[in-house]
Each structure stands twice: as structure tokens, then as C-alpha cells.
Structure 1
Amino acid sequence: MKRLYIITAFCLAILVCPPSSFSEAPATSEQAAAVEQPAAKEPNGPAEILASLLELRKNLKEQMQLSKKKLEASKSDAEKESLEKEISQLDKQLSENSNDFERIATGIEPALFAEKKPEVFSWKEEVASLVEPAIKELKRFTIRARQKTNLKDKIAELEQLSAAANQGVAHLEEVSVQSKNKQVVKEVKGLEPEWQNIQKRLANKLELAQRELAQLEDQEVSLVESSSQSVRNFFRDRGRYLIMALLTFVAILLGFRLLYRLIVRISVRLTGQQEERSFKIRLLYIIFQVLSVVLAVIGLFFVLYLAEDWFLLSMAIVFFLGLAWTIRQGVPRLWQEGRLMLNVGAVRENERIMMYGLPWQVTTINVFCKLVNPSLDTELRVPIENLIGLTSRPFDPDEAWFPCRKGDWVEVNGGSRAKVVSLSHEQVELVERGGRRIFYPTEAFLQACPANLSRNFRMKVPFGISYGLQDKATDEIPRILKSYLEKRMEEEGYSKKCLNLLVEFMQANSSSLDLLVIADFDGDVADICKRIERAIQKWCVECCTQNDWEIPFPQLTVHKAEG
């Protein structure tokens, strides 16, 4: 009962199980023996015990003398061997009697003064001692199947031997009948009783084995019934202990997690600052994680130890030893992950890192880390081991995270304009005017160096006039043309979106004097930039018409040489 009270108190301490969970623990074999057998009346003091030991020693010596006399008088080897074993056993009992007498008389264990043999540690023996309860339990589960198999093998062997014995007896009878030599017949007749005894003995053994097999088959139940019975027996005997051990394991883990959160909240309230991600809190988090796992495993072992279920305890020890042996090769990697979680590694929180060909902001480093790209509006949750081998850096607030955002108008490879309708770290989806959709892998999209028109853009429109206007081409005509363009933009409603407008002389071409219209526009009109470009060309022609400026065309001039 003391063992049961200890288990109950332990479970109450971790707030997991009711106090009566262990009330039906199976009694050990020693306890059962103590219940079934009445307690023997013990002597009152050492003197009576010593007298009893002397009386026992006297009886043992008399019995040994009697056995030695029988051994000297015996002529049978089998009887001599039996008597020698009996004498050896009596001698062992006498030695134990002497040790008991000395121990009770002195009150000290004589073995304390005996020379101790050096113990040699053998890991094979230690592992075998751990696995032994599990193997015994498995053997107990399969005992019926093994008995049935052994009986079938035994029956097959006995049938073979019985057939040979029958054949031998029949052959002896045949020889005794056919032989005319009386001496041969006499010898054969002398062999017949021995072989008949062998025949009967084998027949009896065969019949007994067949009966045992029949009894086992009669006691067999269906697989479903056997499985259900095994499950019931498991939960009745070991299931409770296993569940309590697992609940203890989980309760300790949760308790440490709640305690960690409580400490963090108290720390924040006392300091008045948000220190959840400070180095001290990170270090405390790792310590709590390691300590919670260690104590949870110890708690699981402790419950199974108090329950005295050596099968479950040995299986749990073997499991955790195997787990530790498996993860031992990952210790260097765990060290690197620990440095990352402490925020003292190559990758740190609130810094910029390159992954999957894109820049990311590291917002949280934990078992699973959070990476954010502000331009993509995408958040990734990646395991901490994926950050090993990478390096982060501080970033400027004005740094770009992606060439465009969703809804921007871009030009890819100097081609047609398209609107960005979908962005991710995997692909970019564009829609041209008219509805044609284009999909780019994000890496290919970045390699194409897209031009973002939604952040303002510049338009350059060349326009040529005749050489007959050479005297006005560099000053007067650009001024008049600019005034006309500003007027028309005001009329069409583009003036508010036009950030800058210039008309300059560009070059003297082969057939014309070229002017250049430079216009900077707000990104809001990026979707109609080609329409505005065509409008500027149109307004230049209208201005030339109003002012009678000749628009040239390619000409070929031929000079005739004087002869």
C-alpha cells in the first residue's frame, strides 16, 4: 500500500490523474505468497534462532553421513551420481547454515569482509538486461502458438519413430518365424520384448502429444476474440500505467511552457518593456525547452518505476536510448540551430536575407521561422534548419523588396505594357490590355529586368521639321510647340498628370531638323501611355499646320557637276 500511496501523491503533484488510479495495482509475487501462506511463528530472540540453527546443522551432518555410507555401499553408477548430487546439496546447505549463524551471532554481514571480485562492465549484458523483460513478455504472448508448433513437430517425429519401431518389431517376428536356427530364434526372441517396449513407449508418447494438441486446439479462440481479450488485458493491467506515464510526460511539458510564459509576462510588467525577444528571454526559452524534455522523460520513467511494470519501463528506456543514439549525429546541427534561436548566429531577426532568389525580412526565429517580403505581401514559415548556411544583413528602410507590386503596370524586355495581377515567390501573372495573360516564373521575371511604369515614367517623342525653318528651329519653334502642347493637354485633361514638359532641338538629320518632346507623367496614367504618345504626335502635326511649318520627307538631292 505504501507504493500505491507514493504513486498517488506523485500524480496529484503534477495535476494529472485521480488519486485512486493506482489503487488496483497487482500484487507482486512476494506479496501474493505472503497472503496465501500463513506467517510462520518466529523465535523471540537471537538465542532461540542460534539454537535452531545448531539443531539444523546437526540434522544436516547426520543426513550427510548417512548419504556417504550409502555412496560407499552403492554399486550402481546412476545411484552413485544421485547420491553425490545429494551430498553436494547438503554441503551447500551446511555452508549457508554456518554463514547464517555467524551473521546472527555477530550482527554483521560476513560478506562485507570478503574479497570482492572486480566487476567488468559489459554493455551487451546491460542491454540484454534491459531488453529481457520485453522478450519475456513477447514470449508470453506467443506461448500458445509456440506450444502448438512444438507439439506438431514432436508428433511428426514420434510418428516417424513409431513407424520405424513397428517395422522393427514386425521384422523380428518375421525372422523368428522363418529362421530354422534355434540359436538365432532364441536371440531374436530375446530382442522382441525390448523392441515391443520401445514400440509401446513411442505409442504412448504419440498419444499423449496428440491429446495435448487437441486440448490446445479446443482452447483456441478466434483472432478477433483473442485480439480483443489481449487489448482488454493490456488496458486492465498495463494500459492505466502507460496512460498515466504519457499524461505525466505531457503535463510536465505543458507545465514548463506555462511557467515560461508566466515568467515572460512578469518580466515585461516589471521592466515595462517588450523583452520577449531579448537574449535573456531567448536563453531562458532554450533552457526551459531542454529542462522540460529531460524532466518529462524522468517523470515518465518514475511513474513506470513506481508501478513496477518492468516491461513498459524497459521498453521506454530502450526507446529513448535509441532516440538519443539517432540524434547524436545531429548535435553540431543542433548547436547551430541553438545559436540561431539565441539570435547570435549568421541569420538574425529584423535583417534581410536572400532565399529562393528573393529578399526576405526575418521577422521571427524559432523552431519555425517567419520570413516576410513587404512588396509581395507574402509570409513564409520555414524550418529553422533551412536557415543554416545563410547570412542576413541590416537593410535600409528605402531598399526595394521587389520591382513591382500587385496592380502596377510594367514593361518586360521593352515589350508591351501589362498589369501585375498576381505576385508570389513562385510566379508572376501579368494581364495585357485586351485581356491576354502572361505567366512568368518569378526568377525569370526578375532576370527580364521589368520596367515599372506605375512609379512615374518619361516619354520621349521625336518630331522633324523642314530645313527651311532653320533660323527658327532652335528657339522660336520649340517655345511655340511647347505652349501648344500644354494647351492641348489642359483641354484633354492630362495636364494634372504631366509632371514636366520640355521641347528641345535634338539633331540635324539628313532630311529634317529633329525636335524632341520630353514629357514626365504620373504613374496613374501608365495604362494609357501609348495613347498619350500618339496624342503628342498628333498635336505636333496640328501645331505645324497652324503655323505653316513644313514637315519634310526623305529626299535625294542630285548635284550636277559643271563640265
Structure 2
Amino acid sequence: MRLALLCLLSAVLPLHGQIAPPQPAPAPVAAAPPTKTETLRALLAARDGIRAALDDQRKKLQGETSESGKRDLQQQIDTLEMRRQEVERDFAIIATGLQVSPTAKPGSITAPTLQDEIGQLLTPIFSDLRQLTRKTRAVQELQDERVRLQENENQAKRALAELDRLLADLKAAKGPEAALRSALNDTRKTWQTRHDEAGSRIAAIQHQLAELKTSGLDFWTELGSNVKHFVFIRGTNILLALVVFLAVFFGLRTAYSYLVKALSVRKYQRLSFTVRVADVLHQAVSLVAAIAAALLVLYARGDWLLGGISLLALGGLLVTAKTGIARHLEQLQFLLNLGPVREGERVVINGVPWRVGAIGMFTHLTNPSIPGAGLRVPLEMLATLTSRPDKLGEAWFPCENRAWITLNNGAQLAQVTDITPDRVEVTFAGGMRRSMPVATFLAADVTDLSPGFTRSASVSIHSSHLSRATGEIPEELKAGVHESLLKTMREDELRDLIVEFDNATGLSINYLITVHLSGSQAPNYPSIPRLLQRAAVEACARHGWNTTAST
């Protein structure tokens, strides 16, 4: 019974060692870390042990006949080979102090794909981003691996202790248990190898952690170093690229402007189609040449990080421009003066006409009757308008600034004191001011008195003078009214005076007096009819005509 129990324990012991629940890592012992030489010796011993185990497994593989046994042995050989490579890598790292990365085999090199090229372009960007946390990540990875190896080492210790107890029990039994003892010894050798490998790897990790803590830089020092590197190296590259970009861009534009002035192609308001095409081409060439020059500066300085960021930004701009190709073609049509809005023509915005200036990304619109700089309209808004040629002498606004006007069909007299693209300010009699939107002003039935105006009044003479009603009386009445008007105004302000026979009734003869005055008399617009009536009454009194006057 005791022998059967021993056989069962020897069969399940390796599995028990593998599936035992992980135990918490023991508290670190305050002992001096192994020296570099001791660590290298431990790694060599572990390597030799792995090589010996590899030789044994390969010999067993040669003598194995079953396929399942060969597969199991081959898996063990592959596992040991991976352990051997790890030990040799640790040995090289400890001995040289450098991280040794595996080299690609010549036969594994394949043609790069587009994804590979993009990855190579982005590699400098992400490399600089990872550089800040390089040491922190390395320390954390080593600490995590040390915890895992310590758990494996504790498992191996527990397995070895159990195996030693079983072997001691077999030795005390003094029975013929040679086969069982041999199997337990083989199992113990396997777990001893695992224990030694874990110990040597832990020693290597402790040595690497010690070197990182003594020779490495802390996070803030490394961050300051990177910032300093960016300011003095990449900052210089950015400045040089920006200077070259501005020099090429504005240099080409300045050279083109001098060339245009030398050829005198802009002395006409409306440029030819060839000149407009040249304008568009020179703007595109200036931008492309400036960008290419800036990228060449980054290439010459070997700054692939900024070069990669610049190329990615250009790629994003090209993709964005591709989605709005129709809109860009429409804008190009406007720049070539082939769109629905043409330079020098008239467009109407909010009821106000504007003259179109040179069409560009922003177009300047002016109105000769509106003081100020006018409007600056973006190309997107200009695309929603339609222009037409203006006629010779066509008005640009109902009145000029400081002009006298009447509103609401002559019911109100006012003076325009300010005109802006948005509002019109008018001053009424007595100094009352009113500011109104341009649309409201245009809808107020505005009459401009500045060019001149006409006023009239009527006078009635008694029918006893009927014999002279169409001959002497109109002439004498006109002369008398003219003389009276010149007492209140200059002669150049009185453009014309007309006295006409209007009609005759049973008791009176009616005359219509009409006067044409210049715009300087506009402030007296309401009083002119009364002035005419008074002048007519005075003339009739001088000639002894019985009169009655009315408007």
C-alpha cells in the first residue's frame, strides 16, 4: 500500500508543481545584489545545464519510435532551445551592457508594402513619443518578469522539497524501488533545472535594474533633455523651414508683381484672360515651391519627425480638397473672371448696387455714393450673386451724402447726414435725427432735391380784367414775381419761372405760377409756394389788380 501511494505521488508530482496556485512573492531580502561576475557565472552554468538537457532529449528523440513520443520530445527540445536563447541573450546584455536585438535572416526579407512604407514614415514620430517613458517602461517590464520568475522559483522549491521527502521515504523503506527512485530522480533533475534557470534569470534582472537605477536618468531629467533637444534642434529646423518657406513664397510673388508692373498689364480695369490665368498659376506655383523648399530644408537637416508630420498634414489637406473639388473648380472659374459675377460690373446686395473690384479670395465692392471703404466679400458669398454691366450715368444710390430729400411722396423734408453700407441717417426740421436700415430708406419713396426741383402756386384775378387776361397780365405778373424772388435768392438759383393762364370762372381768372430752382434752395422747399403767392399778390397790388391767392 505504501509503495502504491509513492508511485501515485511520483506520477502526479510534476502536474502538481505546474498547477499549484500562485503564492504571493516573498518579501525581498535585504541582501547585497550579486556582482556582475557572479551573475555571468550563474548564466553560464544555466546555459551548460540547458545544453546537457538538450543533448539528452535529442538522444532520446533518435531512439523513440512512436509518433506521439517524438512530438512530445520535440516540444521539449523547442522549449529548451528557447530557454537557451534567452540565457545567451541575458549573458550578452550583462556582459556588454547593450540591448541585443535579433537580426533578420536574409531569406526573410520581403518587398515593402504601402503599409510598411507608412509605418516607416510614422516610426520617428512614435519613437520620440516613446522615448520619454523608455526607462519607466523598461523598469516596469523587468519588475513584472522578476515577480513571475520568483513565483516559478517558489514552485520549483516546493516541488523539490516534496521530491526530497519522497526519496527520503523510499530510502527509509529499504525496498526494491529502483525504478521508482530513478523516475523521481529524473523528475527532481527537471525541477532543479527550472529552479536554477529561474534563479539565474532573477539575478540577471536584478543586475539590469541596478544598472538602470545607477546609470539611467529620471523622468523629469529626461523630459528636460528632450525639451532642450526639441528647442535647440527641432526648433532650429522649424525656424529654418519657416524662413525658407516665407522667403520663397513672398519672393516669387514680389518678382511676379514687379514683372507685371514692368509689362504694364494692370493699367486697364479689366484684365485679359491670359493675365488672369497667369495670376492663378503664379499663386499655385508660389505655394508649391515654398512647401517644397521647406521640406527640402527638413530633408537636408535629417529631421524625419518634422518631415513626416509635414507630409501627413499635406496628405490630409489633399484629401480634404478632394472632397470639395466641385467647389474649388467654381472658385477657379470666378478667379478667371468667367463666373456669373464679373469685375467692373454691378451687383445688388440688400437693394444697394455695388461695383465689383478685383476678384480674389476676398473681393472689394464699392459704391461711389456711399463713403468709406465699401464691402469685403468672401468668394463663397460672391458665388451666390449675379452681376450685370451698368449703364452710362446710371445712379448708384437715390441720393448723395449731405443731400436734401423728401420722404413719403414729399410729405417730409430731411437732409441725409450719413450713409453706411448698413444704415442711413437723416435729419428733419428742428434737428431731429433718425437712423434707418438701407432697405427701409429705399422703401420710403425718396426724392432727391439736390439736382433741382420745381414748386408751384396759383393766383386768381378778378374777371373785370378779362380783356388783358392772356396778354399783358401774364407778362407783367411774371416780371413782378421774378423781381420779388431775386430779393430772397441768387439769380443762378432761379433757373426758370413760368406764369400760365390756367382757367377762368364767372368771377375770377386763375393763373399757375411754376418756378424751377437749384438744389441749393432745397432747405426752403416747404416755403417756396408761400413765397410765390406773396410775390404774386405784391405784383397785382402794384398794378391795381383785384386778386385772391390760394395754393
TM-score, normalising length from structure 1? 0.63
Secondary structure class of the residue paired with 1:491: coil
List runs of 5+ in structure 2 lacking aligned partners: 1-51, 62-72, 86-105, 159-190
2:392 paired residue among 389, 394, 397? 397
- Change in CA separation of 1:365 and 1:511 when aligned onto 2, cut-off 3 Å: farther
Aligned partner of 1:428: which letter?
A: V
- Change in CA separation of 1:272 and 1:331 when aligned onto 2, cut-off 3 Å: closer
- Change in CA separation of 1:490 and 1:329 when aligned onto 2, cut-off 3 Å: same
Secondary structure class of the residue paired with 1:343: coil
1: CA distance, partners of 2:266 / 2:315: 45
Aligned partner of 1:335: which letter?
A: L
Which residue of 2 is the match for residue 16 of structure 1? none
2:257 paired residue among 250, 256, 261? 261
In the TM superposition, residue 131 of structure 1 has moved relative to its aligned partner by 2.8
Percent of aligned pairs sharing the same letter: 27
2:234 paired residue among 229, 233, 238? 238
- Change in CA separation of 1:239 and 1:465 when aligned onto 2, cut-off 3 Å: same
1: CA distance, partners of 2:141 / 2:80: 34
1: CA distance, partners of 2:213 / 2:262: 71
2: CA distance, partners of 1:481 / 1:396: 43
2:58 paired residue among 65, 72, 76? 72
**Conserved 8 A contact 1:486-1:495:** no
**Conserved 8 A contact 1:544-1:551:** no
Which residue of 2 is the match for residue 458 of structure 1? 454
Tell me the number of residue pairs that the alignment of Structure 1 and Structure 2 aligns.
Answer: 427
2: CA distance, partners of 1:226 / 1:465: 112
Aligned partner of 1:434: which letter?
A: G
2:247 paired residue among 227, 239, 251? 251
In the TM superposition, residue 275 of structure 1 has moved relative to its aligned partner by 9.6
In the TM superposition, residue 322 of structure 1 has moved relative to its aligned partner by 0.8
Which residue of 1 is the match for residue 70 of structure 2? none
**1:483-532 Cα deviation digits (max 9, x unpaired):** 21012123334443111111223345798654321100011111122233
**1:445-485 Cα deviation digits (max 9, x unpaired):** 11213111110100021334455555555554433322210
In the TM superposition, residue 219 of structure 1 has moved relative to its aligned partner by 5.9
**Conserved 8 A contact 1:369-1:383:** yes
1:487 paired residue among 475, 483, 488? 483
- Change in CA separation of 1:509 and 1:73 when aligned onto 2, cut-off 3 Å: farther
2: CA distance, partners of 1:381 / 1:277: 20
- Change in CA separation of 1:272 and 1:334 when aligned onto 2, cut-off 3 Å: closer
1:505 paired residue among 485, 496, 501? 501
Aligned partner of 2:327: which letter?
A: R
Determine if the alignment matches structure 1 residue 536 to structure 2 residue 532. yes
**Conserved 8 A contact 2:457-2:513:** yes
Secondary structure class of the residue paired with 2:486: helix
**Conserved 8 A contact 1:367-1:383:** yes
In the TM superposition, residue 417 of structure 1 has moved relative to its aligned partner by 1.6
- Change in CA separation of 1:123 and 1:73 when aligned onto 2, cut-off 3 Å: closer
Mean Cα displacement is larger for which, 333-342 or 122-131? 122-131
Which residue of 2 is the match for residue 131 of structure 1? 122
1:366 paired residue among 360, 365, 371? 360
Aligned partner of 1:344: which letter?
A: L
- Change in CA separation of 1:258 and 1:509 when aligned onto 2, cut-off 3 Å: same
Which residue of 1 is the match for residue 181 of structure 2? none
Secondary structure class of the residue paired with 1:505: strand
**1:88-136 Cα deviation digits (max 9, x unpaired):** 9xxxxxxxxxxxxxxxxxxxxxx9xx9x99x7x9765554443333222
Pick the structure with greater CA Rg: 2
List runs of 5+ in structure 1 lacking aligned partners: 1-65, 89-110, 170-193, 554-563
**Conserved 8 A contact 2:364-2:376:** yes
1: CA distance, partners of 2:56 / 2:257: 83
Question: What does 1:153-232 correspond to in 2, within 5 Å?
Answer: 220=218, 229-232=225-228
In the TM superposition, residue 306 of structure 1 has moved relative to its aligned partner by 2.9
In the TM superposition, residue 411 of structure 1 has moved relative to its aligned partner by 0.8
Secondary structure class of the residue paired with 2:487: helix
Question: What does 1:38-49 correspond to in 2, within 5 Å?
Answer: none
Determine if the alignment matches structure 1 residue 524 to structure 2 residue 517. no
- Change in CA separation of 1:460 and 1:226 when aligned onto 2, cut-off 3 Å: farther
Determine if the alignment matches structure 1 residue 381 to structure 2 residue 367. no
Aligned partner of 2:310: which letter?
A: A
TM-score, normalising length from structure 2? 0.64
Secondary structure class of the residue paired with 1:403: coil
1: CA distance, partners of 2:268 / 2:455: 50
Aligned partner of 2:536: which letter?
A: C
2: CA distance, partners of 1:417 / 1:148: 90
Secondary structure class of the residue paired with 2:434: strand
2: CA distance, partners of 1:495 / 1:267: 54
Secondary structure class of the residue paired with 1:492: coil
1: CA distance, partners of 2:319 / 2:222: 36
**Conserved 8 A contact 1:350-1:362:** yes
Secondary structure class of the residue paired with 1:501: strand
1:417 paired residue among 413, 418, 428? 413
- Change in CA separation of 1:145 and 1:282 when aligned onto 2, cut-off 3 Å: farther
